[in-house]
Chain A
Amino acid sequence: SQTIHQWPATLVQPVGSPLSLECTVEGTSNPNLYWYRQAAGRGLQLLFYSVGIGQISSEVPQNLSASRPQDRQFILSSKKLLLSDSGFYLCAWNRLAGFADTQYFGPGTRLTVL
């Protein structure tokens, strides 16, 4: 069976500090991978998606970047965090590369920037 992991689960960082959130998927190969940000109790904002190693598409200009160094690893980064980067970050994958199939979500990372 497939599983998706995210860490850390929670993170409190000062403004201006760097960020690295990691997402890994087990039990599948060549998945589409996604990073979303969610404001409290609201819908999902797509930040990045990747259809393969080293292939990153950015949906929203921002202070963040993403990388996919391995097939089942997706990393969200920032060099200097802003207050507005606070939120709930979700990683997701789907089974059919290049097709908007059902997405399976990780447990999320709660980021608070102070």
Chain B
Amino acid sequence: TQLLEQSPQFLSIQEGENLTVYCNSSSVFSSLQWYRQEPGEGPVLLVTVVTGGEVKKLKRLTFQFGDARKDSSLHITAAQPGDTGLYLCAGAQTGANNLFFGTGTRLTVIP
């Protein structure tokens, strides 16, 4: 069962544009993480959000955790070619030993 759905699945934009990636679920999570993965490498953690309604900023990236802790979004301002990659959200649930990963969003930023 896929607990976390990401949208869009694929996104191709021009350098300088803004974009938002969504991570949605019907389940509640104790925390939610965003990872970025480049081809041929393992995912690397970008941020962890733990409080409903929390907003975190990492340079041009803004992450938000939904009030009900069921969803999250990642907004990138003025995208750059270096932002290209696969973005994965992952949720943690109390009592579970593993994270539940989303379906992924493949972002391509065209120079």
Contact = CB atoms under 8 A, between A and B. Distances in A.
Given A42-B103, A100-B93, A107 B41 contact: yes
**Which of A44, A90, A110 is most buried by chain B, counting CB atoms within 10 A of its CB?**
A44
Given A41-B104, A42-B104, A44-B88, A49 B98 contact: yes
Question: What secondary structure prevails in chain B residues at the interface with A?
Answer: loop
Given A100-B92, A101-B92, A102-B48, A107 B42 contact: yes
Contact of B88 (A32, A43, A57, A88): A43
A44 B101 contact: yes
Interface residues of A, number: 27
Given A41-B104, A107-B40, 10 more contacts: A32-B97, A34-B98, A42-B103, A42-B104, A44-B101, A90-B42, A100-B93, A100-B98, A103-B90, A105-B44
Interface of A: 32, 34, 36, 41-44, 46, 49, 51, 57, 59, 88, 90, 92, 98-108, 110
Interface of B: 6, 30, 33, 40-45, 48, 86, 88, 90, 92-93, 96-99, 101-104, 106
